[in-house]
Structure 1
Amino acid sequence: MIPVKGYSGQKVAVLGLGRSGLTTARALRAGGAEPVCWDDNPAARETAEGEGFVCADLRRQGAFEGVSALIVSPGIPHLYPEPNPVVAAAIEAGVPVDNDIGLFFRSFAGPEWDEFDTAPRVVAVTGSNGKSTTAALIHHILTESGRPSQLAGNIGRGVLDIEPGADGSVVVLELSSYQTELARALTPDIAVFTNLSPDHLDRHGGMGGYFAAKRRLFAEGGPDRAVIGVDEKEGAFLAGQMSEGAADDRVIRVSVTRKLTGPGWQVFARKGFLSEYRKGRQAGSIDLRPIKGLPGAHNHQNACAAYAACRALGLAPKAIEAALHSYPGLPHRSQIIAEAGGVTYVNDSKATNVDSAIKALSAFKRVRWICGGLEKEGGLAALNDAVGEVIKAYVIGREAAAFAMQLKVEAEVCTTMAAAVERAVAEAQEGETVLLAPAAASFDQYDSFERRGEDFVAEVTRRLAE
């Protein structure tokens, strides 16, 4: 655990008592603060009280008298579409609002670091798509290379639940826009921006607010090195803002759409080959095509970003290449779950928006596509430019018929996962891929994309066993 610094003897309010909220309360208490907790869910309050925490209704008049700060869990809105009433009350009372990420960055370093040969480093990864895979891949490469590493944030453990930094250790954080937009301290050693596509726009008041939330990771803390995907205009703009000139190698530009040139530091992938150039000369090359855990151009982008971050940490290209080949992939992200009768079954339940579904579709040939769910802003029109390899779509979700009508490909309304898998398995031929890439949120039928993916895996397993 990372004891929170700066609040010893002070009351600190904690709103939201899920995984991150309860961990935050423990870390505050470990640092000498007096947490005052609240969650609208009585069961969550009961759990906190069982650990000896004081729970008090932060919605009541005068709740913030004598409170030094309010720490908010990431799922709770503080501005758009409407601020949570407790957050609004804290702001009105002049109480600073922060989250566990901000507490981590202000508390992680300690005086014992003066005795280390190599100070601990923090790598923080954000972006719309691929940040989980990129963060997990960096962690995997470090571990395989013998560097002590911890994976935390939006993946793995909560940031305040990890072990204190050790000599030469690295903490790899995946950070969502919900986490970066509110943290009062953001000071990673290396910051990674994968890409940007529309998502969570209601929470951020539009695309500009969404990009601004991501940009804070770079603008607030000024990382020693910035790894930035430049295939979208926002990434190219961010790289330009962070750089002092074309030869400034504090910025490592990443692309999977073109060869990058110039005197700076670039990592790009073309036709399945990763290349690193520095000061106009090639410094490394890896054939990504045989790596099963990283199929498709979107995963090649993740590999480029992870490679760049690890190179910035001093790892050799050969060590990174060896670790890439042993990477198993993450559940629900282009996860090959079965191969039977010449048919490959792939679970990409994490493809919860149109852009991520397009990337999943582009990674495979001759696709029988299971899609549908709670449609997000922006519609599905962009999908129709990416369905060239789709033989047939099998549409799930409560609004499956309306979803199917927007697709310019043969589509069967199945509604349930069981029906979709049954039909896809029955019709799939040798050399084809049955792909779950919903292009939509799961909440019309499931409580998470993980649960949706698990249902897909269970149905495929059941059908193949028959």
Structure 2
Amino acid sequence: MIPVQGVQNQTIAVLGLGRSGRATAAALREGGATVVAWDDSAETRAQAEAEGLPLLDLTRDTGWRDRIDALITSPGIPHLYPHPHPAIAQALRRGVPVDNDIGLFFRSFGALDWAGFDTAPRVICVTGSNGKSTTTALIHHILRAAGRPTQMGGNIGTGVLSLEPPVDGEVVVLELSSYQTDLARALTPDVAVFTNLSPDHMDRHGGFGGYFAAKRRLFAEGGPDRCVIGVDEDEGRYLANQMGQGPQDDRVIRVSVEDKLDGFGWSVSARKGYLSEWRKGRQIASMDLRGIRGLPGAHNHQNACAAYAACRSIGLAPRDIEAAFHSFAGLPHRSQTVAEINGVRWVNDSKATNVDSAEKALMAFENIRWIAGGMGKEGGIAALAPLFPRIRKAYLIGHSARDFALQLSDTPHEVVETMEAAVARASAESEPGDTVLLAPASASFDQYPNFEKRGEHFTALVEALRRG
């Protein structure tokens, strides 16, 4: 646990008592604060009260009669758009500072006593629309493989205040969502990574501009020593321009999977599967990403470039990074190879819950036997039509199976309804060199509580096949 600094003898209110909220309350208490708490769920409130957290209804005027010095809210609770949560609205009217656990982490992490350390700990933060979880996990994996002390947390793994106090030379790697960067009152990463940007969470941020602004705060207000920025969209190019003093400023490392970036002070790109690092007009290193099983496809090559650049920025050698790439197994449910059986590759990309992410998965493989379906989004899979020639056959499950069948038209397909049937049919019909790809292009809620459970079911069925 990282005790929160600067809260001794203060009364701090915590809104939202899930995993991060409870960890925040514990860290505040450890720092000497008096904590009161609230959650909209009666069941969650009862659990928190049983654990000794005093409750206070922060949505009512009566809850604010006594002094409250700050309100700490969980990331999923709206603080501005589409409208502030009633408890946050109360705080805003009263001028009570509103923060989140990320803000508390940064103001407390740097306040720890590091006087005896030879090398001060550092923080690498990763944000963006797609690939930030894989990029975060990949950076963490590279650091571990290189023998560097490291922890991973934030929007993936451990909550930030549940991390252990850092040791000499440690690197903490955090995935940060737009919900987290939007509100944090302190953001001071040593290295900040921006993967890419595509429309998401529009209602929460008041539109695309607000969404980008939330991501941009990590850089513009965080003031990192190094910025690793994907520049394949206008927003990334704009951000890189804002953070640098010119094209030769190597405090900004530009990343691309579309363009050769040899005219900048520092850049990393991957074209046709080959990663290249350029610095001040010279190629420093290169490597072939195509045979790395844990990083298939151009979208994962972009993740690899971002992770490579972040690790290079803190002094790791190219050969050490490349070696770690080959031992990276990938994250569960994200283009994860779960088995190879009789020459057939089985890939779990259950996280592909929309057309954009399914497109990236389909582009990463050939000779595809595609398991798709679930609670389809507006427009179905029509936008994927240019990729249908890559599909040997589709096996359609769930609520949208018949709608998807109509859109597949002449592409071989079969409505099989369930995951069990899809895996059985794909196993019976696949041939060496095929890839059986679960990339549903749909939400899971018709048959599973979340995409993780869907992916776990697929993996279990494949494992049963492997065992025979």
Residues 1:173 and 1:95: Cα distance change in structure 2 (over 3 Å) = same
Note if contact 1:364-1:433 (Cα within 8 Å) is conserved in structure 2. Answer: yes
Provide Cα deviations, 1:66-91, integer angstroms capped at 9, x if missing partner.
Answer: 11222111222223333322222222
Superposed, which structure 2 residues align to 1:310-389 within 5 Å? 310-376=311-377, 380-389=381-390
Give the TM-score, by structure 1 length. 0.94
SS of aligned partner of 1:387: helix
Partner residue in 2 for 1:455: 457
Matched, 1:50 2:41: no
**1:419, CA displacement in angstroms?**
3.1
Query: TM-score scaled by structure 2?
Result: 0.94
Q: Which runs of 5+ in 1 are unaligned?
A: none
Q: For residue 19 of structure 1, what is the aligned residue in structure 2?
A: 19
In the TM superposition, what are the counterparts of 1:29-428 in structure 2 within 5 Å? 29-65=29-65, 66-376=67-377, 380-407=381-408, 409-428=411-430
Determine the C-alpha separation between the residues in 2 that align with 1:457 and 1:76: 33
**Pair 1:436 & 2:450 matched:** no
Q: 1-side partners of 2:206 and 2:417: how far apart? A: 32
- CA contact 1:4–1:28 (8 Å) conserved in 2: yes
Q: Is the 8 A contact 2:337 2:347 kept in 1?
A: yes
| Secondary structure in structure 2 of the residue aligned to 1:113 | coil
Following TM superposition, by how much is the alpha carbon of 1:160 offset from its aligned partner in structure 2, in angstroms? 0.3
- The number of equivalent residue pairs is 466
**Structure 1's 5 and 319: CA in aligned 2 closer, same or farther, altered over 3 A?**
same
- Is contact 2:376-2:399 (8 Å) kept? no
SS of residue paired to 1:261: coil
Q: Is the 8 A contact 1:64 1:95 kept in 2?
A: no
Query: Structure 1 residues 81, 342: closer, same or farther in 2, change over 3 A?
Result: same
- Cα distance 1:167–1:380, how it changes in 2: closer, same or farther (>3 A)? same
Deviations along 1:196-249, one digit per CA (max 9) or x if unpaired, are: 122222322322222222111111111111101111221112111111101010
Distance in 1 (CA, whole Å) between partners of 2:212 and 2:356 is 16
C-alpha displacement at 1:450, in angstroms? 1.2
More displaced, 230-239 or 408-417? 408-417
In structure 2, the residue corresponding to 1:55 is in which secondary structure? coil
| Residues in 1 aligned to 2:379 and 2:33: alpha-carbon distance in whole angstroms | 44
Secondary structure at the residue paired with 1:222?
coil
Deviation for aligned residue 1:379: 6.0
Structure 2 gap segments, 5+ residues each: none
> Which secondary structure does the structure 2 equivalent of 1:181 belong to?
helix
Q: Distance in 1 between matches of 2:100 and 2:384?
A: 36
2: distance between equivalents of 1:172 and 1:10? 30
107-116 or 319-328, which deviates more: 107-116
- Name which of structure 1's ranges 357-366 and 105-114 shifts more when overlaid on structure 2: 105-114
The verdict on how the C-alpha distance between 1:76 and 1:398 changes in structure 2, with shifts beyond 3 A counting, is farther
Aligned equivalents of 1:399, 1:131: Cα separation in 2: 29
How far does the alpha carbon of each residue in 1:234-281 deviate from its partner, in whole angstroms, 9 at most, with x for none? 111211111110101011001111211214101011222111000000
Query: In the TM superposition, what whole-angstrom CA distance separates every residue of 1:4-47 from its partner, at most 9, and x where no partner exists?
Result: 12221111111111111110010010011111111223332233
| Alpha-carbon offset, residue 174 of structure 1 | 0.6
| CA spacing shift, 1:7–1:397, aligned 2, 3 Å | farther
One-letter amino acid of the structure 2 residue matched with residue 451 of structure 1: K
CA-CA distance at 1:53 after TM superposition: 1.2
Q: State the superposition RMSD in angstroms.
A: 2.0
Deviations 1:141-167 (A, max 9, x none): 111111110000111211000111221
Task: Provide the C-alpha distance between the structure 2 equivalents of 1:40 and 1:418, rounded to a whole number of angstroms.
Answer: 38
Write the letter of the residue equivalent to 1:33.
Answer: A
Instruction: Answer yes or no: is the 8 Å Cα contact 1:229–1:305 preserved in 2.
Output: yes
Deviation at 1:465, TM superposition (A): 5.3
What CA distance in whole angstroms lies between the structure 1 residues aligned with 2:76 and 2:405? 30
d(CA) in 1 for partners of 2:161, 2:194: 23
Question: Which shows bigger deviation, 240-249 or 287-296?
Answer: 287-296
Q: Aligned partner of 1:356: which letter?
A: S
Q: Which residue of 2 aligns with 1:7?
A: 7
Would the aligned equivalents of 1:291 and 1:324 in 2 still touch at CA under 8 Å?
yes
SS at match of 2:232: coil
3-state secondary structure, aligned to 2:399: coil
Whole-angstrom distance in 1 between the partners of 2:415 and 2:71? 47
Residue 236 of structure 2: SS of its match in structure 1? helix
More divergent stretch after superposition (128-137 vs 196-205): 196-205
AA of the residue aligned to 1:54:
P
Cα distance in structure 2, aligned partners of 1:390 and 1:230:
31
C-alpha separation in 2, matches of 1:371 and 1:216: 37
Query: Take 1:95 and 1:252, find their aligned partners in 2: how far apart are those partners?
Result: 38
- Residue 404 of structure 1: CA displacement? 4.3
Deviates more, 1:109-118 or 1:156-165: 109-118
**Do 1:199 and 1:353's aligned partners in 2 also have CA atoms closer than 8 Å?**
no
2:191 counterpart letter in structure 1: I
Q: 1:146 to 1:462 in 2, by over 3 A?
A: closer
Q: Secondary structure at the match of 2:346?
A: strand
2-structure distance, mates of 1:174, 1:365: 31
Equivalent pair of 1:138/1:310 in contact (CA under 8 Å): yes
1:445 aligns with 2:447: yes
Checking the alignment, whether the CA contact within 8 Å between 1:128 and 1:197 is kept in structure 2 is yes
- 8 Å contact 2:5–2:111 — kept in the other structure? no
Contact 2:368–2:391 under 8 Å retained in 1: yes
